[in-house]
Amino acid sequence: MSETNASAAALARTPLYERHHALGARMVEFGGWEMPVSYRGILEEHRTVRTAAGLFDVSHMGEIELLGPHAAAACQRLTTNDVRRLANGHVQYTILCREDGGVVDDVTLYRVDDQRWFFCVNAGNVAKDLAWIRQHAGAATVVDRSPATALIALQGPAAAGILGALTPLVLERIPSFRFARGEVAGLPVLVSRTGYTGEDGFELYVDAPRAGALWDALMAAGAPAGLEPIGLGARDTLRLEAALPLYGHELDEQTSPLAAGLERWVRLDGEDFIGRAALRHERERGAPRHLVGLALRAPGIARQGHPVTFEGASVGIVTSGTLSPTLGSPVALAYVSAALAAPGTKLAVDVRGRPVPAEVVATPFYRRPRPVAAAPAEVPSEVAEPVEDAVDASDDAAPADGEGLYEIDTAPEATGADEPPAGVADAPSPADDDAENADGTQVTREGEH
């Protein structure tokens, strides 16, 4: 047996570290953080999220705010998607690109109001993204909220029931890729209907000092429904089954979002953005390689870096692979030559010198059963990391007005994740906290705030 264990020296810890320790988590290094990889076993945790609900500490992810009258323009310039599609209370999956089209990071962008936006960014990229955003934000004010903000993800078919019992927010009015501010277990929280598992679920942004109380309340409320803590190991297998990209695997600065199959989130014919010219050029030429799903047809696990072959010749490389706990068979994501990217194409993966037959298959590998009212299509989003904050948040102090990420309590009805909401204008929002969104939707129950 041979194993390498990353040194835990000088790693950052989230506000929930002691709880992970008490729960017996196996801790690993991830993106400069000491994080729980599993508590009871990755496969069991994976199944828990698919069948009941799981609670994830993803406080290592970053939150970067853009403020002021120039914030919207800065977001438009920085990202591939169209920020004009966002109303207050909307979230958008989007990409930060370099001039040459390489991916700086894939992120989610939140519009609190027309002068207040924030990015949720991958844990390992916080410093890089912050520098990039500051470099290109023009006259917008950039604030790193990462150190002050914890992030807890509640994911799985039982998630809405668990959260609904703890909050006056009407969760039916917060559809996929919408968010609202409200109280959860009496704590001020920004509730976002997003996730990285392929399941229904929520990501809860909370001031770091309150993370423990929120975690405890969720664990207690969720216990009867089978809620369990889930580590990064299952987070990875869950996102892989859902074919959601992971920065550093499917995406990096040498990879374009077009090769990664993210055209839907790249508005080449809309407003200008950093990288648009290069990506337009690539669209004309056609991306030389495409990200595909592979199903292995013989025993063996494809791992990142394994060559993909066709008739003995190397035609690509695996970016992620595992044994799919839900399917019970090995799956992988891989970049392959564009000519070999069609579903049904028979390839092989070179697993440590042994060619294992594989077939290109449609993704996602797993799709959750949809409720009658279909939610908008899921989009990738991931990775975050936490931080120490410039704002002094004491244990019991609510965020001051205009501070923190919690200054919104309305969420528009869903219009479909890919359809621009009607009448989105960059009109100034009312300055008071009781603002309604454009269509007047209230997301708190009558008489509650």
Partner 1 sequence: MLIPETLRYSEDHEWVLVEDGIATIGITDHAQEELGDIVFVELPAVGAELAKSATFGVVESVKAVSDVYAPLGGIVTAVNEALTTKPETINEDPYGAGWMVKVTLANRADADALMTAEQYRGFLAQEKP
Binding segment toward partner 1, per CB under 8 A, in 116-124, 195-203, 255-263, 296-304: 296-304
Query: Binding mask 23-62 vs partner 1 (x if CB under 8 A, - otherwise)?
Result: ---x----------xx--xxxx------------------
Please give the size of the binding site for partner 1, defined by CB under 8 A. 23
Look at residue 378 and give its three-state secondary structure.
Answer: coil
Instruction: Tally Cβ neighbours within 10 Å of residue 410.
Output: 25
Q: Which is nearer to partner 1, 46 or 193 (CB)?
A: 46
Q: Which is nearer to partner 1, 165 or 327 (CB)?
A: 327
Q: Which is nearer to partner 1, 210 or 249 (CB)?
A: 249
Residue 6 CB, shortest distance to partner 1, in Å, is: 11
Q: Which of 24, 224, 288, 299 binds partner 1 (CB under 8 A)?
A: 299
Residue 109 CB, shortest distance to partner 1, in Å, is: 31
Residues 327-346 that bind partner 1 (CB under 8 A): 330
- In sequence order, the 6+-apart residues with CB closer than 8 A to the CB of 395 are 209, 210
- Exposed, middle or buried, 391 (CB in 10 Å: 0-12/13-18/19+)? middle
For 28, the token pair is 């690993």
Binding segment toward partner 1, per CB under 8 A, in 112-120, 121-129, 299-307, 413-421: 299-307
**Among 110, 25, 26, 122, which Cα is nearest to 66's?**
110
Residue 32 CB, shortest distance to partner 1, in Å, is: 19
- In sequence order, the 6+-apart residues with CB closer than 8 A to the CB of 67 are 115, 116, 117, 140, 141, 142, 143
Q: Which is nearer to partner 1, 73 or 323 (CB)?
A: 323
Binding segment toward partner 1, per CB under 8 A, in 120-128, 164-172, 318-326, 437-445: 318-326
Helices H / strands E in the chain, number of each: 8, 19
Residue 3 CB, shortest distance to partner 1, in Å, is: 6
The helix (run of H) or strand (run of E) holding residue 150 is strand 149-155
CB crowding 203-225: b at 16 or more within 10 Å, else e: bbbbbbbbbbebbeebbebbeee
Residue type present at position 372:
V
Residues 225-264 that bind partner 1 (CB under 8 A): 233, 236-237
Note if the bond before 399 is cis, omega within 30 degrees: no
Q: Which of 8, 131, 220, 422 binds partner 1 (CB under 8 A)?
A: 8
Q: Which is nearer to partner 1, 155 or 322 (CB)?
A: 322
Residues of the shown chain interacting with partner 1 in the complex, contacts defined by CB under 8 A: 1-3, 8, 26, 37-38, 41-44, 233, 236-237, 299-301, 303, 322-323, 325, 330, 352
